[in-house]
A and B are shown apart, each in its own frame.
Chain A
Amino acid sequence: MRRKVARTSSSERRNHVTWPASHDCTARRVNMASHLSYGRVNLNILREAARKELREFLDKCAGSKAIVWDEYLTGPFGLIAQYSLLKEHEVEKMFTLKPGRVPPADVKNVIFFVRPKLELMDIIAENVTSEDKLQPQREFHILFVPRRSLLCEQRLKEQGVLNSFTNIDEYILDLIPYDGDLLSMESESAFRECYLENDQTSLYHTAKGLMTLQALYGTIPQIFGKGECARHVANMMLRMKREFAGSQNQILPVFDTLLLLDRNVDLLTPLATQLTYEGLIDEIYGITNGYVKLPPEKFAQKKAGEGGKDLPTEPKKLQLNSAEELYAEIRDKNFNAVGAALSKKAKIISAAFEERHNAKTVGEIKQFVSQLPHMQAARTSLANHTSIAELIKDITTSEVFFDNLTVEQEFMTGVDTDKINTYIEDCIAKKDPLIKILRLVCMQSVCNNGLKQKILDFYKREILQTYGYEHILTLNNLEKTGLLKPQTTTRNNYPTIRKTLKLWMEDANEQNPNDISYVYSGYAPLSVRLTQVLARPGWRSIEEVLKMLPGPHFEERQQLPPGLHKKRQQGENRTTLVFFLGGVTYAEIAALRFLSQMEDGGTEYIIATTKLINGTSWIKSLMDRPEAQIR
């Protein structure tokens, strides 16, 4: 656990340095990205590179500017740059991209920040053509994120507005630093596109993103992968490397290994309810772009005199990342261990405040006062998380939650997966939320390697009758992605997989975990097991199981320029980048962080993904909801 200690101390030091006198918003914003630099790999380099490029583009359009945003992009951009940066570069107004006319603003430039989507091009064209000719001429620019597209430019040309743009540029924003050890492409529909629609655009962006990463952090010598998409990405990477042959990368490799994993190799994990603190926050309230919105009641300021008369109605918005010391400490714990951690922390903080009585000399008092801001911040943080924990506890102790979890765990352990499940039946009868039903049915199907046609048809009929026939499309989508399928062979290989990979651990220790299975209180996420086995003893030991999982598994090596071969110090850990194609859950991340911190693990993990998901957001992305409007 040596490393873990080192990490905490560095973050403590940071808190002293970067949170000066007042703990207000502006002070935090300035240092917002510091948490990116304290991991094994300094991801702030990536963020800085992205910021630099943004500044360069903004400076290309001389004079005052207004930005018209593709709304989808504002979240991801928030992780790269705040409004202050834009303001420094003369961005005076921001609008949302909408049909019609760009609102009047006395600026020289109007810049569209958009994804390369044809629908958006039509809106832009409308914006440009309806520009008021009487007003002073504004210059138009387009910034495509993450890549410019011939198709879109063609569309603009057809609309006759292509020549109205002074600059058409691309802002290559593939991998966005999300936390000290986490990168996300924030591409919501990646799984749907890859596995349902056979549109591999996001994989191309993934490969490009990995090339950018290698340009900054050195060539990754070893690439492992499992799954069709992984194979495709690796092929593209190797191909792109050949394309750039000649511009040899002279950076000492930071990553030793890249592991590419298809989400469809492990369809089970995201379906299960995450039981870590962060995982539960996401399951219950949903974390978007690093922020969570919580019901405000528990966060009401209890100030004397106000008497709590008017409760705030706006949801409480909190940013969640490792910059917050307490959060970094508890986020990956099993929720059952969070209470103890919080009360321990509470004791430490109140002890720290008690210190003031012991401070006798002026020097001691001065030192105490200098630590005050940090302590106050810690206290606020503690109060916030205690409130969140209370909110979550109300839910986790409910019977509904318990029953649901019991069924999930039965499926995961292989109990009666080949029969119609009465709990699911009852839930449908009670018309519980559809997504909950779909999660459970899919889970049963995955754990049984497909359902008997009769059972499958029963569930489908029940769902259609209860929730409406329009969901036939959604069910069809789930079948296409393999989440729901009829059993084709009588052999169910899930038990073999479960046993070989030890996916179920009876005695999962939630308080002081000794295995990754703690994140689901017993179930060890398959994806993370694969990662763990790869590090030691290697995939050769599980060839049989790998063959049962969909898609090829492979290993590729990338030649390093001479002189860049790493000489590993005795006891120095390897660094592996695990890329989840199609999304990753917070619980899986927690499991990987747990592996990184294991004393004898020997490997540290950096995680990258197309999108952070949970079962609900994932299933939602696969749903088709035609809006019926009959008369």
Chain B
Amino acid sequence: MGWNLKDGLRDCLIAAAPYGGPIALLREPQRRSPSARPQLEIYSASGGTLASFPWKSGVVKQLGWTVCDDLLCIQEDGTVLVYDLFGSFKRHFSMGNEVGQSQVVEAKVFHSPYGTGVAIVTGASRFTLATNIDDLKLRRLPEVPGLQGAPSCWAVLTQDRQSKVLVANGADLFILDYGTCTAVSPPGLSPQATSIIHMCVSFSYKYLALFTDSGHVWMGTSNLREKLSEVETKVRNPPRQMAWCRRPKSQQASVVIMWDRYLLVVGVCKDTIPFHFEDDSVLVPELDSVRIINATNHELLQEVPAACEEIFKIASMAPGALLLEAHKEYEKESQKADEYLREIKEQNLLGEAVKQCVEAAGHEHEAETQKTLLRAASFGKCFLSNFSPEPFVSMCRDLRVLNAVRDYTVGIPLTHTQFKQMTVQVLTDRLVYRRLYPLAIEICRYLKTPEYQGVSRVLKHWACCKVQQKEEADEVIARTISLKLGDAAGISYSEIANKAYECGRTELAIKLLEFEPRSGEQVPLLLRMKRSQLALSKAIESGDTDLVYTVVTYLKNEMNRGDFFMTLRNQPVALSLYRQFCKHQEQDTLKDLFNQDDDHQELGNFYVKASYKEKRLEARMSLLQSAVDEYNKAKNEFAAKATEDEMRLLRFQRKLEEDKGEYLLGFSLHDTLSTLLSLGLHKLAEQLYKDFRVPDKRYWWLKLTALADKADWEELEKFAKSKKSPIGYMPFVEVCVKRNNKFEAKKYVSKVTPEQKVKAHLAVGDLEGAADAAIERRNEGEISTVLSRCTPATDRTLVERLNRAKATATKK
């Protein structure tokens, strides 16, 4: 071990995290005098110092590590303080107010699929449990009947997706879950026992071991349905520590029990293996083994893996062993290599042999042994066809990574089984927590982890760490970060900026946000930092209008109206969006907006629109007057004039209603005129026509149509003769024909222009007239038109005349 502990592990609170995690030590935790505070020390698994500082808070009952390598210090008063690997304080939480007086007697930190949990038992013999400290929900467990003071021993179990506590009170055993306290009894527990004095649960929560005051160890499943074995240890002292030592799927379950300087391995058989120590030690249960740490050494105790046993057992004839032998001979250039190889091949076990060697290499810790085994495997592979290289290659990669992290400078002693269980991603995270960024990046690159999950993630953590370096200037940090991160895929600059903001470095956060390509991510943080203007421009940049709306709504609540409008004024995109919003939601605000911008044109439109919503004529008139004023201010003479006309028309219509009882309000000028004409109110129509300076042409059309609709042919004829028609007389023909009055139509045929003659004659069905007109005009096209209207019933001579005329017209 790299550490230098003067007093060994005596009088220490120790917590070592599983998966080769860090070790925390608190010397003499009971000391309270300010002159001699206990020292909290954090080491890597190889004993390298990570942090050391005097403990200034209350009395610590228990230390523990979370899954994210944070240190939990559970104090007597129920407060839990959270520190990171390097001893900086992160946060604290409490295990409940009621703990205060009774105080924590014992505490345990446990891990489950839901995260890291904490369980405590108070002086009042009550248990409180939190399954996940990151989503703290305290559960006070029911009382244990008859329990006074501390229980003799207890453990936390995770069963059926629930965390439960198993408590022993003398010989009685109870399971506590959220609602109930159930008395249980382990099947086949030896009757000599009067008290269960120690217990431990396996890493997977599947198995339970109980140690009784009679010196018996009972082993069984944690659901207490099955007993595996019971062994008598002949030691009656309560053990210091007890831990399961078994690998997944192994049949050789065993429990390691430790007293002062004496360690015993007990299993299903009656035999036990004793070990003696020179020094105080600590057991660290692992998934597939138990680590034993003392002041000078760090050892791994595990059941020898099957593959290693097969290969290295003395005089083993297992295929792997033979292959290893064959390879050794091959290196020596001896022909025996061939004999061994043939022996394996004859049994058709070469594949098996290679597999064994590869597997065994994974379990070995010495690089040389790993190499020997892998070389043997590689040698054997040469004689196989169709053998997937994948396991071999990935094992080589894994081992390379494992050897790198097992190095004492890194100090993460993982077994291959553990590594596979924890995955590369978690390992990268662990390295990142230890700030071993270069190694983490190397590993990601080496294993070709997708950049997004690998390198980028490491860089992000690095940057988050970087922004906390108070001594460096914002400018420098921002530049360093952008240089290193560059365009690495999937970097979330906003997360880094968020970190900077949390550290109180707002300026740095803003600088970092500049690098964030996703505006959607920038905006919420900027809003939180009260940089609403910047947030607004970022939102606009993103093009996401919903985001702009969000910021605008935020600004609206945040600022006073004047400032708010000013801000919008500088951001036309936001302004037009807000206008849209107001158009549907807040009409009055819309008006204010236009007012502020002196947008008289829009104000005019606004009043016009509003006027149509008014039911009362007076109100409508006054709105229209406002519109006129605004249009005038906007120098839009046309609109002002038009609106004035509209008012004039309305007034006229109202008068009409009063005088004649004709309801025309809201009619267009055209419709008003038509109605007047069809009512025979020619004078009024005439007046309106003059007042509104209706063009003659249109008035003629209008009157013509109105009279024809009314079938007032007499008046129509009078009208036609009143003066020269500005629209010619073709419309008269057409309008009459349209109303099926060919007789009237014919009256106007003679008056149409020469160009329209043919058309007019045809319209009234006078083929002969049309023919005459066409021939007279010598127009080929017109002659053809007339010809096309001829039917077999038509007079032959007419057709001939036309044809002749056509011929002459063509010749010309």
Tell me whether A403 is interfacial, beta carbon within 8 Å: no
Do A203 and B543 form a contact, CB below 8 Å, given A247-B490, A472-B642?
yes
Residues 282 to 297 of chain B near chain A (Cβ within 8 Å): none
A630 interfacial contact with B, CB 8 Å:
yes
- Binary interface profile of A, 464-489, with partner B (CB < 8 Å = 1, else 0)? 11111110110010000000000000
B304 at the interface (CB under 8 A from A): no
Task: Annotate A204-227 by CB proximity to B: 1 below 8 A, 0 otherwise.
Answer: 100100000000000000000000
A41 contacts chain B at the CB level, 8 A cutoff: no
Say whether B343 faces chain A, with CB atoms less than 8 Å apart: no
Interchain CB contact (< 8 A) of A476 among B543, B605, B620, B700? B605
**Is B553 interfacial (CB 8 A cutoff)?**
yes
**C-alpha gap A440/B20 in the complex (Å):** 83
Q: What is the minimal beta-carbon distance from A562 to any residue of chain B, in angstroms? A: 15
Complex: A461 Cα to B638 Cα, angstroms: 9
Interface residues of A in 192-244 (CB under 8 A from B): 197-201, 203-204, 207, 232, 235-236, 239, 242-243
B546 touches A460 (CB 8 A): no
Q: Closest CB of chain A to B434's CB: distance in Å? A: 26
Q: Is the CB of B576 within 8 A of A198?
A: yes
B737 to chain A, nearest CB (A): 12
**Are A246 and B451 touching (Cβ within 8 A)?**
yes
* Interchain CB contact under 8 A, B620 and A630: yes
Say whether B484 faces chain A, with CB atoms less than 8 Å apart: no
Residues of A within 8 A of B580 (CB): 197, 199
Name the prevailing secondary structure of the B interface residues.
helix
In the complex, what residues of A have CB within 8 A of residue B615's CB?
Answer: 629-631
B692 touches A150 (CB 8 A): no
Cα-based distance from A559 to B218 in the complex (angstroms): 68
Which partner residue on chain A sits nearest B451 by CB separation? Answer: A246
- Contacting pair A469 B695 (CB below 8 A): no
Stretch at the interface among A256-264, A409-417, A620-628: A620-628
Minimum distance in angstroms from B306 CB to a CB of chain A: 42
Residue contact A246 to B489, C-beta cutoff 8 Å: yes
Q: Which residues from B are CB-within-8-Å of A630? A: 614-617, 620, 665-666
Considering only residues 445-466 of chain B, those with a C-beta below 8 Å from chain A are 451-452, 456
Q: Are A472 and B695 in contact (CB under 8 A)?
A: no
Contact A466/B665 with A118-B584, A246-B456 known, Cβ cut-off 8 Å: no
In the complex, what distance in Å separates the CA atom of A197 from the CA atom of B576?
7
Give the CA-CA distance A235 to B544 in the complex, in Å: 12
The residue that A199 contacts in the complex, of B489, B577, B669, B698, with Cβ under 8 A, is: B577
Inter-subunit contact B670/A467 (CB<8 Å): yes
User: Main SS of chain A's interface residues?
Assistant: helix
When distances are taken between beta carbons in the complex, the residues of chain B under 8 Å from A242 are: 517
- The answer to whether B542 has its CB under 8 Å from any CB of chain A is yes
Choose the segment among B43-51, B235-243, B643-651 that binds chain A (4+ C-beta atoms closer than 8 Å). Answer: B643-651
Contact bitstring A409-428, B, C-beta under 8 A = 1, else 0: 00000000000000001101
Q: How far is the CB of A89 from chain B (nearest CB, A)?
A: 28
- Tell whether, in the assembled complex, residue A464 and residue B642 are in contact, meaning their CB atoms are under 8 Å apart: yes
Contact bitstring B541-555, A, C-beta under 8 A = 1, else 0? 111111101100100
A199-B545, A467-B668 given as contacts; is B609 within 8 A of A626 (CB)? yes
Interfacial chain B residues near A130, Cβ < 8 Å: none
Number of A-B contacts (CB under 8 A): 149
Given A204-B544, A239-B542, A462-B695, A469:B643 Cβ within 8 A: yes
- A450 to chain B minimum Cβ distance, whole angstroms, is 15
Partner of B605, one of A119, A198, A207, A473: A473
A465-B669, A472-B643 known; A430-B705 Cβ under 8 A: yes
| CB-CB under 8 A for A151 and B546, given A243-B517, A631-B616 | yes
Known: A201-B545, A461-B642, A472-B642. A150 touches B550 (CB 8 A): yes
B518 within 8 A of A: yes
Interface residue? A76 (CB, 8 A): no
Query: Most B CB atoms within 10 A — which of A430, A465, A472?
Result: A465
Chain B 227-261, CB-CB to A under 8 Å as 1, else 0, gives 00000000000000000000000000000000000
Residue in contact with B698 in the complex, picked from A235, A462, A464, A467, CB distance below 8 Å: A462
> B609 — nearest CB in chain A belongs to which residue?
A626
Query: Which of chain B's residues has its CB closest to A626's CB?
Result: B612
A150 near B547: Cβ-Cβ < 8 Å: yes
Return the chain B residue nearest A431 by Cβ: B670
Which residues of A sit under 8 angstroms from B519, Cβ to Cβ?
Answer: 239
Residues in A with CB closer than 8 Å to B577 are 198-199
Q: Is B608 an interface residue (CB 8 A)?
A: yes
Compute how far the CA of A462 lies from the CA of B668 in the bound complex, rounded to whole angstroms. 11
| Contact indicator B649/A147 (Cβ below 8 Å) | no
| Complex Cα gap A555–B620 (Å) | 52
The complex places the Cα of A466 from the Cα of B549 at a distance, in Å, of: 41
In chain A, positions 20-58 with a C-beta closer than 8 Å to chain B are none
Among A150, A425, A426, residue most surrounded by chain B Cβ atoms (within 10 Å): A150
Interface check B394, CB cutoff 8 A? no
B137: interface (CB < 8 Å): no
B181 contacts chain A at the CB level, 8 A cutoff: no
Q: Which residue of A lies closest to B759 (CB)?
A: A399
CB distance from A341 to the nearest CB of B (A): 25
Contacts of A119 in B (CB 8 A): 584
A472: chain B residues at CB < 8 Å are 605, 608, 639, 642-643
Residues of A near B705 (CB, < 8 A) are 430
Residues of A within 8 Å of B542, CB to CB, are: 236, 239
Asked whether A468 lies within 8 Å of B517 as measured between CB atoms, the reply is no
Q: Does B702 contact A (CB under 8 A)?
A: yes
Are A469 and B668 in contact (CB-based, < 8 A)? yes
Q: Decide if B585 touches A425 in the complex (CB within 8 Å).
A: no
**Chain B residue at minimal CB-CB distance from A197:** B580
Q: Pick the contact of B670 from A201, A203, A204, A466 — CB < 8 Å?
A: A466
| Cβ 8 A contact of B452, one of A247, A425, A428 | A247
Q: Closest Cβ of chain A: how far from B711's Cβ, in Å?
A: 18
The reply to whether B670 and A118 contact each other, CB–CB distance below 8 Å, is: no
Contact with A along B193-204 (1 / 0, CB 8 A): 000000000000
Residues of A near B727 (CB, < 8 A) are 426, 429
Inter-chain contact B694/A465, CB cutoff 8 Å:
yes
Question: Which residues of B sit under 8 angstroms from A466, Cβ to Cβ?
Answer: 668-670, 698
Q: How far, in angstroms, from A242 to B541 measured CA to CA in the complex? A: 13
Contact with B638, one of A197, A457, A473, A626 (Cβ below 8 angstroms): A457
- In the complex formed, the residue of B with least CB distance to A425 is B697
Assembled-state Cα–Cα distance A232/B544 (Å): 12
Contact of B612 with A470 in the complex, beta carbons under 8 Å: yes
Chain A, residue nearest B692 (CB): A465
Closest chain B residue to A462, Cβ basis: B698
Q: Which residues of B lie under 8 Å from residue A470 when comparing CB positions?
A: 608, 612
CB contact list, A588-631 vs B, under 8 A? 624, 626-631
Partner pick for A425 among B573, B617, B646, B698, CB 8 A cutoff:
B698
Q: Is B573's CB under 8 angstroms from A198's CB?
A: yes
B residues within 8 A CB of A469?
Answer: 642-643, 645-646, 649, 668
Note all chain A residues with C-beta closer than 8 A to B585.
Answer: 118
Beta-carbon contact of A200 and B545 below 8 Å: yes
A130–B84 Cα distance when bound, in Å, is 52
Contacts of A239 in B (CB 8 A): 517, 519, 541-543
Report Cα–Cα, A425/B695, bound state, in Å: 10
B670 touches A245 (CB 8 A): no
A460 to B576, Cβ gap below 8 A? Answer: no
Nearest CB on A from B704, distance (A): 9
Interface string of B659-675 (1 = CB under 8 A from A): 00000011111100000
Query: Which chain B residues in 302-322 approach chain A with CB under 8 Å?
Result: none
A573: B residues at CB distance < 8 A:
none
Max chain B CB contacts within 10 Å: which of A197, A426, A472? A472
- Smallest beta-carbon distance B454→chain A, Å: 11
In the complex, B754 has a CB within 8 A of chain A = no
Residue pairs across A and B with Cβ atoms less than 8 A apart, 13 shown, are A151-B550, A151-B553, A197-B580, A199-B545, A200-B543, A232-B543, A236-B543, A243-B517, A430-B701, A466-B669, A467-B670, A472-B608, A626-B612
Task: Report, nearest first, the 8 A-B pairs whose CB atoms are least far apart.
Answer: A246-B489, A429-B701, A626-B612, A198-B576, A469-B646, A468-B668, A246-B490, A466-B670
